[in-house]
Amino acid sequence: MADKERFELPRPGAMIPPTPAVVMGVAGDDKVKDDLTVVWSFVLDGHPPQVGVSVGLKSAISGDLQVALHLLHKHGEFTLNVPDASWIKEFDKIDMCASERDDKFARTGLTRLPSQLIEAPGIAEAAIVLECRVISDHELKPNRTVFFADVVRTTVQEGVTDEDGKLKPESRDFFGMAAGCGEFWTLGREVGRIGMTKEEVEEIRY
């Protein structure tokens, strides 16, 4: 039966809020400096840890070619850097300059963090940094490439997890993007956890 309270949007949208709001770091080459850019980022599996990124051919802002795409094809490695609200303006500046070929670290004042297992740079201000190695890439017509990757190393700032490596969400002002309005929102109230309805369940983090 048709639900009278349900409205179809004028245009379909990928409205699954909240989505991760993170910065990808890729190594440069002899022509281009190391790049930082905001891309759609997501989890593919918890065990083993696998993630994905969807990278546009062109910047949605300028219409010019994104810097990161060919670097990612070339090196097959990237970092994912999880910001907190204390540097949200820098986050947005990065998002607005995906086609610029200058030094994104200098542009934003963020600090380069060398990775240990890959060449791609991380961001020292990021509460969480994932070092990732590409497994496969997939063309997404008309204008994107999706990369699947193994997370080979995860580092966190002091206090972001407990001693057992479990994330403490309240340790920073983490924020997500509300896909559907483009707004950044911090986490609010904890309303449950995976396995809350089961009496005996191992702790599930992913």
3 binds other proteins (CB under 8 A): yes
Compute the CA torsion angle 71, 74, 80, 86 (nearest 10 deg).
-20
What is the bridge-based pairing of β-strands 35-38 and 77-82? unpaired
* DSSP state letter for 66: P
Nearer of residues 16 and 30 to other proteins, judged by Cβ: 16
Rounded CA separation 38/7 (Å): 31
Nearer of residues 73 and 133 to other proteins, judged by Cβ: 133
185 binds other proteins (CB under 8 A): yes
Minimum CB separation from other proteins for residue 128, in Å?
A: 5
CA angle 186, 171, 201 (to 5 degrees): 95
102 binds other proteins (CB under 8 A): no
Q: 94 with 109: CB under 8 angstroms?
A: no
Minimum CB separation from other proteins for residue 37, in Å?
A: 13
87 binds other proteins (CB under 8 A): yes
Which residue from 34, 35, 95, 100 is in contact with other proteins, where contact means CB under 8 A? 95
Which residue from 99, 128, 134, 147 is in contact with other proteins, where contact means CB under 8 A? 128
Cβ–Cβ contacts within 10 Å for residue 151, how many?
Answer: 18
Which residue from 99, 125, 134, 147 is in contact with other proteins, where contact means CB under 8 A? 125
* DSSP state letter for 96: T
Minimum CB separation from other proteins for residue 137, in Å?
A: 11
CA angle 112, 103, 99 (to 5 degrees): 120
Which residue from 58, 75, 119, 167 is in contact with other proteins, where contact means CB under 8 A? 167
Nearer of residues 74 and 193 to other proteins, judged by Cβ: 193
Nearer of residues 29 and 173 to other proteins, judged by Cβ: 173
User: Under DSSP, is residue 36 helix (H, G, I), strand (E, B) or coil?
Assistant: strand
85 binds other proteins (CB under 8 A): yes
Whole-Å CA distances, 101 to 35, 36, 62, 64, 85: 8, 10, 13, 11, 26
Enumerate residues 24-83 that contact other proteins by CB under 8 A.
40-46, 48-52, 54, 56, 60-61, 80, 82
88 binds other proteins (CB under 8 A): yes
